[in-house]
């Protein structure tokens, strides 16, 4: 509902701020999958109307491809192929980006996404949403070695699993409560952040080592995590690979990344008709 109310004014303001009119635009790019379907459909239908009325091509963009394209905005010299960890509120993937519109998934989460784990642990600890920034903030004064959280066992060399980690935090919080005690929130936040970033970094670096990738990247909301960025910087150096990080304001969902990927999809001829539909789920390798 809120999306419906704001989308016209938002697009108008974007054009105004850019000092452009719709005539300066070559094509209309829109996120069509995956995502919460209500929000996705508002965007898709608005984009159809805009493209039709302005006589511009309509370019469907996959949300995770958009996250990866944030890297091209930050590092114009970066060119595929490269290896990328995409970690957001709904997805955690290790992907080989073969070129601007072709992807091969090496690994994925078998349960919760990394951002989702941050959000759930934050709620358990009484920290505000979104959990990523609030856990990272609480962790600043905590001891990452205070609580020994388990390393989950998971099938698949590049797969990850975070639901056990989330449950371990919940169990420790409940156990303390039953004894009339409380866990130290800063220590727990630091211990959780240490464990989850360690797992993500280890899997990405393992994939880099196996495939011999010399360019490694991260994208998605979780890519804003300072400890993850530091851990990967050290690991990439050891491997002799170059690490590319998206600038902080482009890690979380934004329209610039969708426009950037829209450029590459348009160039590859991936346009859509007015029968384009929104999809709640769709693999990044759909095309
Ligand atoms: O990509 P994104 O903005 O939206 C989705 O596509 O889901 O990612 C949002 C997720 C949330 O789960 C949020 O807690 C997490 O990214 N996040 C972080 C940080 N900033 C945002 N996770 C860890 N550390 C952060 N600094
Ligand atoms: Zn996202």
Q: What is the pLDDT of residue 100?
A: 98
Mean pLDDT confidence for 19-23:
97
If DSSP codes are grouped into helix, strand and coil, which group holds residue 242? strand
Tokens of 77: 């010299």
CA of 35 to the centre of ligand 2 (A): 9
- Give the tens place of pLDDT for each residue, 190-210: 999 999 999 999 999 999 999
Decide if 214 contacts 242 (C-beta within 8 A). yes
Q: Is 39 in the pocket of ligand 1 (CB under 6 A)?
A: no
- Give the tens place of pLDDT for each residue, 50-77: 999 999 999 999 999 999 999 999 999 9
Q: How far is CA 164 from CA 122, 169, 279, in A?
A: 15, 9, 29
Q: Which atom of ligand 1 is nearest to the CA of 226?
A: 26
CA of 119 to the centre of ligand 2 (A): 14
Mean pLDDT confidence for 26-45:
97
Taking 3-state DSSP, the helix, strand and coil percentages for the chain, each rounded to the nearest 5, stand at: 50, 15, 35
Q: Is 119 in the pocket of ligand 1 (CB under 6 A)?
A: yes
Contact residues for 267 (Cβ-Cβ < 8 A; gap 6+): 100
Question: What is the average pLDDT value for the chain, to the nearest integer?
Answer: 97
Q: Is 224 in the pocket of ligand 1 (CB under 6 A)?
A: yes
Q: What is the pLDDT of residue 195?
A: 98
- Give the tens place of pLDDT for each residue, 122-135: 999 999 999 999 99
CA of 63 to the centre of ligand 2 (A): 6
Decide if 201 contacts 160 (C-beta within 8 A). no
Q: Is 133 in the pocket of ligand 1 (CB under 6 A)?
A: yes
Virtual CA dihedral for 60, 63, 66, 70, nearest 10 degrees?
160
Tokens of 37: 């379907």
Specify the pTM: 0.97
If DSSP codes are grouped into helix, strand and coil, which group holds residue 37? helix
CA of 106 to the centre of ligand 2 (A): 19
Per-residue pLDDT band at 96 (split at 50, 70, 90): very high
Mean pLDDT confidence for 149-171:
96
Tokens of 285: 């390798």
What percent of the chain has a predicted confidence (pLDDT) above 90?
99
Per-residue pLDDT band at 90 (split at 50, 70, 90): very high
Q: What is the pLDDT of residue 265?
A: 98
């Amino acid at each position: 509902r809120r999306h419906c109310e704001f989308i016209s004014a938002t697009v108008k303001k974007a054009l105004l701020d850019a000092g452009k009119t719709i005539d300066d635009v070559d094509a209309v790019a829109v996120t069509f999958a995956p995502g919460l379907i209500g929000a996705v459909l508002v965007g898709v239908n608005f984009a159809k109307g805009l493209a039709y009325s302005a006589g511009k091509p309509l370019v469907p963009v996959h949300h995770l491809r958009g996250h990866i394209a944030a890297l091209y905005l930050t590092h114009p010299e970066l060119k595929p192929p490269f290896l990328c960890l995409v970690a957001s509120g709904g997805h955690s993937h290790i992907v080989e980006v073969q070129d601007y519109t072709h992807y091969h998934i090496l690994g994925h989460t078998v349960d919760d996404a990394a951002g989702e784990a941050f959000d759930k642990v934050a709620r358990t600890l009484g920290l505000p949403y979104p959990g990523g920034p609030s856990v990272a903030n609480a962790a600043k004064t905590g001891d990452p070695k205070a609580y020994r959280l388990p390393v989950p066992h998971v099938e698949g060399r590049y797969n990850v699993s975070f639901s056990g980690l989330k449950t371990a935090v919940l169990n420790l919080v409940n156990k303390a409560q039953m004894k009339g005690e409380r866990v130290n929130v800063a220590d727990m936040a630091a211990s959780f952040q240490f464990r989850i970033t360690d797992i993500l970094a280890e899997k990405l670096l393992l994939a880099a080592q196996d495939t011999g990738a010399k360019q490694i990247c991260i994208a998605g909301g979780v890519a804003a995590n300072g400890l993850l960025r530091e851990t990967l910087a050290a690991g990439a150096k050891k491997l002799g690979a170059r690490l590319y990080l998206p600038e902080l304001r482009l890690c979380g969902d934004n329209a610039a990344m969708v426009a950037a990927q829209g450029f590459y999809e348009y160039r590859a001829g991936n346009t859509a008709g007015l029968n384009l539909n929104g999809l709640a789920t769709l693999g990044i390798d759909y095309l």
